[in-house]
Amino acid sequence: MSTLEKLQRLEALCALGYTAPLLDKALDKLIAYQIANQHSEIEVIRQDLGAFQEKYALDSQTFFEKYQSGQMADDADFMDWNALYKMYKRLQQRLNEEEGDNGTN
């Protein structure tokens, strides 16, 4: 059974009125663990982005917009920077969703 299927089963049980303090605690811990991991991953990527920003004297958002519109060359550094920035944005979105769902945002 996939993770999604397991979550759907839990959702169905909860919709029927099932409550379990132990389950709530376990889910809270899983969410907190995932949020901490996301923060760590984002920090590593921020450092990598910072190196590109310093090297090219350009912030990542501006670089990304220029790169996406074809204003920047397709050299290896820019391709890496683009990929890192996309990864950063995805992680940030996921973190915002996780923190919002957990009520910690």
From the list 34, 7, 36, the residue with the least C-alpha distance to 23 is 7
pLDDT at 80: 97
Please check the confidence at residue 104 and state whether its pLDDT lies above 80.
no
Running DSSP on this structure, what letter comes out for residue 72? S
pTM: 0.74
**Residue type for 81, please?**
W
What is residue 50's three-state secondary structure?
Answer: helix
Rounded CA-CA distance 27/35 in Å is 12
Mean pLDDT (the chain) is: 91
Backbone angles phi, psi at 91, to 5 degrees: -65, -40
Amino acid at 84: L
Give the pLDDT confidence score for residue 105 in this predicted structure: 38
